[in-house]
Chains A and B, each alone.
Chain A
Amino acid sequence: MAETPNRKLRIHALRYNPAKAGDEPRIQTYEVEEAPGMTLFIALSEIREKQDPSLQFDFVCRAGICGSCGMMINGRPSLACRTVTKDLPAEVSLAPLPFFELIGDLSVNTGKWMRGMSERLETWVHAMGKQADLSRIEEAMDPALAEEVYELDRCIECGCCVASCGTARMRHDFVGAVGLNKMARFRLDPRDKRTDADFYELVGDDNGVFGCMSLLACHDVCPKNLPLQTQIAFLRRKMVVQGTKG
């Protein structure tokens, strides 16, 4: 039985190296023969090995868990490593995530932005001086609550939510769904002793939860399917209550 011949994929990648004097953004097209089970990780690695060793992109885990490879795939922010080519048309356009600092070609500096966001929002448990005795049995936590915290902790900081965000387009200091989700996560965690008054200081303004226009592309593109819509709405309600306390 003859097998159907593999498709020829035409991958149109945005090329631009801001560090190279005189370089202009342009689209470069690569042809790749599709193989069974091929992902964009495999296709791009093959291009780099066989056609163009200078093409820049980021992959680490290539398993959809580290968040390195967010890029615009046919106009939509997604993780390239787990995008299977058979789900794509033969013409594929790739561009770096907007909003973040461009390193080159498809590589952007999400790490720097995420670190800044974490510093600003203090995305860690504030135990307020309480020191755990490590030789003693740990403090109990409601199992259902632990699962809820884990659910929000699944964020991989890939940046897809910020890249798709209308507010972020206008306000560069907006903390994005990633930041708001983190606030919701720590607010839910009984080990974090911060109060709503503390959280209000962090996200009770237009760069925080009141900047969100509820367009909610973040919710649609989140590769981990985080419940961003409900979390942002809930956090906003709590912050309104806090803000009106005066």
Chain B
Amino acid sequence: MKIVYTDVLVIGGGLAGLRLAIGAKRRGHDALILSLVPAKRSHSKAAQGGMQASLGNVIKGQGDTEDVHFEDTVRGSDWGADQEVVRMFVNTAPKAVRELAAWGVPWSRVRKGDRDVIVNGQKVTITERDEAHGLIAQRDFGGTKKWRTCYAADGTGHAMINTVADQAIADSIPVHERKEALALIHDGARCYGAVVRDLVTGEVSAYVATATAICTGGAGRVYRTTTNAVICEGIGHALALETGVSALGNMEAVQFHPTGIFPAGILVTEGCRGDGGLLKDVDGHRFMPDYEPEKKELASRDVVSRRMEEHIKKGKGHKSRFGEHIWLDITLLGEKHIHTNLREVWDICHYFLGVDPVKEMIPVRPAQHYTMGGVRTDPSGQSPTLKGLFSAGEAACWDMHGFNRLGGNSVAETVVAGMIVGETIADYCDKLANTPTVPLGLVREFVEREQAKLEAFTKGGGREDASLIKGEMQDLMTAKVGIFRTGRDLEEAVDKLQKLLVRSRSIGLRSPSLGANPELVTAYRVQRMLKIALSIAYGAAVRTESRGAHFREDFPRRNDAEWLKRTLATWKGESDTLPTLGYEALDVKRMELPPGWRGYGAKDYIDHPDTPERQKAVEAIRAQHANDRFAMQKALMDYEHLLPEILRGRNERIDERF
């Protein structure tokens, strides 16, 4: 049995995993990254529009602070987020963007003086300050009060991962490419690493580590129509789930991005609307102001996606041979702006649609985009139920997004979580007591178990086709567990997914090789994907309210009285066909921002009994500290002790020096 030993085993080579590994390595611990693909090809690369951080350099961002970013994020989450984690995040985001600037990310910069921008469909001239010249620029994004999204044209994730992956190379961090983790090695209380398969040779080996971190991104590919890369299959989620002890939080919270190009589902950035692009219907009418007079095209993604689908249901979609869609119009932004700040969008429209967005409108329709749910961790990134297991980024649910993530908050989360969890994982490894005595018998047992499962596909005599099962799952998820959900659809989905899971236990292969074999990969992944799909669908079926991206037509109101709680899914027995659901309540009495109206979307919700009292207390504290926002924040919800020491402290701005 081949065993590789390391201090920190990072599963996933995207932005979160890379930044986490760099943090651990710089603290003196060996870090090793496993990646399905070369690190720079990870899905982080596809983030286009930008990264939120309250720098407040541009004039439309003036007055922005962590406080405003905090409130926008909590409202965006529809109060599902852990507010302490949101605070940790908003305070670290400016530090993260500045670190990346020092490392070489070519952030777009502010030019002093007048410039024309499009706001609400009108050309407006704004004047940037002299003192902001050359600082990192921000653009507008959905669900934000200030222009806060820092960007490198519309290739932000690309530029970020180029820089961070090269930093990892500079720090001599090995990335074992084309390797896939098949299972976590654990004894029910503690994680010892993972069983790993080489996708080129088929070899199965063990990677043993003091700490293991799941940084594998999202699970979009359980859906048919998704913006996600083909590797985003939720395998990291499944690794945690299959331990039986580690839980997945809020898997029913799935984001649909308003502007996937139609019908391919490839993303065009929210920056299109942030920079002034409009959504139009079959008559060329700009319909969003009719539904959302305050935020219009720039309400949160869950709200805009629902309004688009609602408008299509009213017969206002454009009919094409593939079905109906909405138009995204960025022609008003002009050729120069599109060729400078939206050039990836231009490329995508040109190559995939044959459309020139300088002159023509872009066909779009909402597509699955982001997995808010993930491996449940505490604010330090560690699993509360499986010692030595950590998670960061989209794969994790430390829970900063709740039931809807704001645009620009996910690439920001990857690096912020990487910074924070990189430190806490190093703290963990520093402690002698955490160095495991490795039970080699257990390691061997896990390796042999996985080998036996692989052999069952090639020799077990099963007759089910892996690709067919996967296709049926994806169609079901898109048709029944999408933007608008009903109890009846969800129950049907749960029932059919269970049957697919049972069928997937009798998959046979047409090409029965244990070496490089794409069919074998589909076979073992689809079994895991079905468990993720079931966690989403079953969680959604049980949650009889609407919150953020989880919208139930039969329960259209947010119900804080009964549902201000996080879903926790675990998979208890290998032969189970459903996850076991548990819930943890969110404590209104400790919230800095008690539940209320988001400022867009439905105004009508059922209050939690504790909300009025907490609201009163919050108002009193606010009045008492009206002149000092830092003292006010501390009095409302002290969180700083949760941050690693080197990440604490204020952030300087043009208007806020210290």
In the assembled complex, B153 has its CB within 8 A of some CB on chain A: yes
Evaluate contact between A143 and B352: CB separation under 8 angstroms.
Answer: no
A5 to chain B, nearest CB (A): 15
Q: Are B513 and A118 in contact, with the CB atoms below 8 A?
A: no
User: When A59-B230, A60-B231 are in contact, do A140 and B45 touch as well, CB less than 8 Å?
Assistant: no
Query: How far is A36 from B323 in the complex, measured between Cα atoms in Å?
Result: 13
Among the 9-residue stretches B158-166, B240-248, B326-334, B405-413, the one with 4 or more Cβ atoms under 8 Å from chain A is: B158-166
Q: Decide: A54 near B266, CB < 8 A? Known: A82-B351, A135-B649, A136-B652.
A: no
User: Which of B110, B159, B166, B509 is A118 in contact with, Cβ under 8 Å?
Assistant: B166
A143-B108 CB under 8 A given contacts A56-B518, A63-B267, A119-B169? yes
Asked if A55 and B518 make an inter-chain contact with CB atoms under 8 angstroms apart, the answer reads yes
Of B130-138, B293-301, B567-575, the one touching chain A: B130-138
Residue from B37, B41, B167, B231 whose CB has the most chain A CB atoms within 10 Å? B41
Partner of A124, one of B135, B137, B169, B230: B169
CB <8 Å contact, A20 and B95? no
Chain A hits for B231, CB < 8 A: 60
Chain B contacts of A141 at CB under 8 A? Answer: 107, 109, 134
Residue from the list A103, A132, A136 in contact with B200, Cβ < 8 A: A103
Chain B interface residue count, CB cutoff 8 Å, equals 80
How many A-B pairs have beta carbons closer than 8 Å: the answer is 200
Query: Are the C-beta atoms of B106 and A146 separated by less than 8 Å?
Result: yes
Please indicate which of the listed interface residues A37, A49, A124 has the most CB atoms of chain B within 10 Å of its own CB: A124
The 8 A CB mask of A124-147 against B (1 = contact, 0 = none) is 110100001011111111110011
Tell whether, in the assembled complex, residue B98 and residue A65 are in contact, meaning their CB atoms are under 8 Å apart. Answer: no
User: In this assembly, does B515 line the interface, its C-beta being within 8 Å of a C-beta of chain A?
Assistant: yes
The reply on B253 being an interface residue by CB < 8 A is no
Q: Is B40 an interface residue (CB 8 A)?
A: yes
- Across the two chains, which residue of chain A brings its CB closest to B101? A138
Chain A, residues 40-67, CB within 8 Å of chain B (1/0): the string is 0000000011101111101111111111
Q: Are A150 and B169 in contact (CB under 8 A)?
A: no
Given A63-B267, A112-B177, A115-B169, does the pair A54, B111 have CB atoms closer than 8 Å?
no
Tell me if A205 counts as interface (CB < 8 A to partner B).
no
Across the interface, do A137 and B104 meet the contact criterion of CB distance under 8 Å? no
- B positions within 8 Å CB-CB of A: 37-43, 45-46, 55, 94-95, 97-99, 101-104, 106-111, 133-137, 152-153, 155, 158-159, 162-163, 166-167, 169-170, 175, 177-178, 200-201, 229-231, 263-264, 266-267, 321-322, 340, 344, 347-348, 351-352, 354, 467, 471, 509-511, 513, 515-519, 522, 649-654
A–B Cβ pairs within 8 angstroms, 22 of them: A37-B352, A39-B352, A48-B518, A53-B509, A56-B518, A64-B348, A65-B158, A66-B40, A104-B200, A115-B38, A115-B175, A124-B166, A135-B95, A136-B98, A136-B652, A139-B101, A141-B109, A143-B134, A150-B152, A150-B155, A154-B155, A192-B104
